[in-house]
Amino acid sequence: MAWTRLNLPIARWLRGVLTSVALVAAVSGVIALLEPALPPLSLLVLYLFAVMPVAVGWGARLAALTSLISVCVFAVLFLRTAGSFRIAEARDAVALGVFLVTAAVVAELAARSRRAAVEAERLTMEQSGLRRVATLVAESVESPAVFKAVTREVGLLCGADLARMERYEVDGTVSAVAAWSSGPAQLAVDTRFDLEGLSVARDVRRTGGPVRLDSFAGATGGIADEARALGIRSSIGCPIVVDGKLWGVIAASTKRDAPFAANTEAQIAAFTELVATAIANAEAHTKLNRSRARIVATADETRRRIERDLHDGAQQRLVSLALEVRLIQDGVPGHLPMIRDDLERLSEGLTEVVDELREMARGIHPSILSRGGLGAALRMLARRSAVPVELSIGTASRYSPPVEAAAYYVVSEALTNVAKHADASQAEVTLGEHDGRLRLRVRDDGLGGAEPRRGSGLIGLRDRVEALGGSIDFVSHIGYGTVIEVALPLDRTDQPAANGSP
């Protein structure tokens, strides 16, 4: 195995020599055919057809050797005079010399254009790899998918056999987050390694820049053991820096003897920048969602407090005042009917204020939601809706308070909108668990044309739902009613739903 690897360049060189000999023989055959009709020196130039392919395939050195072979063969076959191998005339020697120089120039040009073509192909490959990854980043595709794509692109671009992306952890270890391989043998993923022995990750952390490791022979540590087991000869790694901090490393490894090309680090760097952007985006997205969740939670908490204050404070005071008025009313002598009537009106007024207050408190925060769960709360909303509602509740589970509150406010706002804007004859509300999500659908057969940017209700729903990691979609074509579809995380709690009603 090692022998074969060692002899790969020799085998390639041998193939080049054989090709060169075969081409020179073929051109000599053609010259022999043409020689009777044309002066042989003018046919010397035909050997360029042997020199050029060799220059393109094997480089300028083998092309120079081909020119020499050509000249020798030509001299022996076509310039021999009377059984001697000497070149008879100075004119012939000059022609051979000119051919050699011309062949050298042509060979160099051919080899250069070959190198330019190879570089152009590599650049095209790099550009399309970068474009593919940039598209994923721009589409805010989940980070693991970006990690996987980048690791693959880096592996392909460097001509590596294996590649892996690793993330530095706070405990001083490194986690393998994505791996790629040109063959079946894979580097480990979702695994943690300490940075004790030799590894690209250790050296990148020490230096903060790209590193090359030429051999893992005799090295200690989990990563070095793995490298030896997979037959890795050398590795190269580049840091991934996010917001000025070292986040991780991407390493490419080869099982061949030949080292990675000199500019490999620069090629990898273009990809690590994209990874850093994807990570920074994802982190910003997570932070944004957390802050949205905090805003929604603070608003909910404030509503809950106001509802409790109204219920325990003002409402209770008014109820006891109404009772006191009743008592006073009962104690008024029968010959003072006007005072009794006045007190009666006062008592009724107080009772109405209590009812109004209770209604307001319900709107501020639905206490039925915490007591009876989503089913009870949605039934209450359906009963109170100005437009008839067909309700279908396919779950009796209890969910976390933010999830229940989100589902409740979606239905509440949607039904309010139906009454306010839709001119609908009916609405449907469907709730159930499907594909690992709590799914909610509110549909009406009204005018359609709902446009979140025109108000604050639908935008508020989007904030609330997305802050929980859920999704919300509005479909509202004019004349075809409105559908709101929401998917929320299945954040179940063990508490069973009560069949309470308001």
Ligand X SMILES: Nc1ncnc2c1ncn2[C@@H]1O[C@H](COP(=O)(O)OP(=O)(O)OP(=O)(O)O)[C@@H](O)[C@H]1O
- The DSSP symbol for 453 reads G
75 binding ligand X? (CB under 6 A): no
159 binding ligand X? (CB under 6 A): no
457 binding Mg ion? (CB under 5 A): yes
Cα separation, 240 vs 250, in Å, equals 7
Cα separation, 42 vs 74, in Å, equals 12
Total H helices, total E strands in the chain:
15, 13
Site size for Mg ion, by CB under 5 A? 2
Cα separation, 38 vs 31, in Å, equals 9
Nearer to Mg ion, 457 or 500 (CB): 457
Nearer to Mg ion, 108 or 485 (CB): 485
Interface residue with ligand X, options 236, 418, 440, 497 (CB under 6 A): 418
Nearer to ligand X, 202 or 462 (CB): 462
Q: List binders of ligand X among 441-500 (CB under 6 A).
A: 444, 446-452, 454-459, 482
Cα separation, 362 vs 242, in Å, equals 47
Query: How near is the Cβ of 367 to ligand X at its closest, in Å?
Result: 22
Cα separation, 173 vs 436, in Å, equals 33
Q: List binders of Mg ion among 163-202 (CB under 5 A).
A: none
Query: How near is the Cβ of 289 to Mg ion at its closest, in Å?
Result: 23
From Mg ion, ligand X, none, interface partner of 447 (C-beta below 5 to 8 A by class): ligand X
Query: How near is the Cβ of 301 to ligand X at its closest, in Å?
Result: 21
- The DSSP symbol for 44 reads G
From ligand X, Mg ion, none, interface partner of 155 (C-beta below 5 to 8 A by class): none
Nearer to ligand X, 213 or 418 (CB): 418
Nearer to ligand X, 358 or 420 (CB): 420
For residue 312, give the amino acid letter. Answer: D
Half-sphere exposure at residue 154, Cβ-oriented, CA atoms within 13 angstroms:
36
Interface residue with ligand X, options 421, 439, 441, 462 (CB under 6 A): 421
Q: What are phi and psi of 476, to 5 degrees?
A: -150, 75
Cα separation, 16 vs 117, in Å, equals 20
From ligand X, Mg ion, none, interface partner of 15 (C-beta below 5 to 8 A by class): none
From ligand X, Mg ion, none, interface partner of 454 (C-beta below 5 to 8 A by class): ligand X
Taking CB under 5 A as the binding criterion, the range among 50-58, 392-400, 417-425, 489-497 that sits at the site for Mg ion is 417-425
Taking CB under 6 A as the binding criterion, the range among 113-121, 277-285, 363-371, 419-427 that sits at the site for ligand X is 419-427
Cα separation, 108 vs 337, in Å, equals 123
- For 22, 49, 152, 432, the CA distances from 355, given in Å and listed in that order, are 105, 103, 66, 33
Cα separation, 418 vs 427, in Å, equals 8
Strands 427-434 and 389-393, bridge-based pairing = parallel
Measured N-to-C along each axis, helices 264-309 and 337-364 cross at an angle, to the nearest 10 degrees, of: 170
Q: What is the DSSP string of 160-174?
A: -SEEEEEEE-TTSEE
Taking CB under 6 A as the binding criterion, the range among 49-57, 307-315, 367-375, 417-425 that sits at the site for ligand X is 417-425
From ligand X, Mg ion, none, interface partner of 452 (C-beta below 5 to 8 A by class): ligand X
Query: How near is the Cβ of 415 to ligand X at its closest, in Å?
Result: 9
CA dihedral 65, 69, 75, 78 (to 10 degrees): -130
**Residues binding Mg ion (CB under 5 A):** 417, 457
**Residues binding ligand X (CB under 6 A):** 417-418, 420-422, 444, 446-452, 454-459, 482
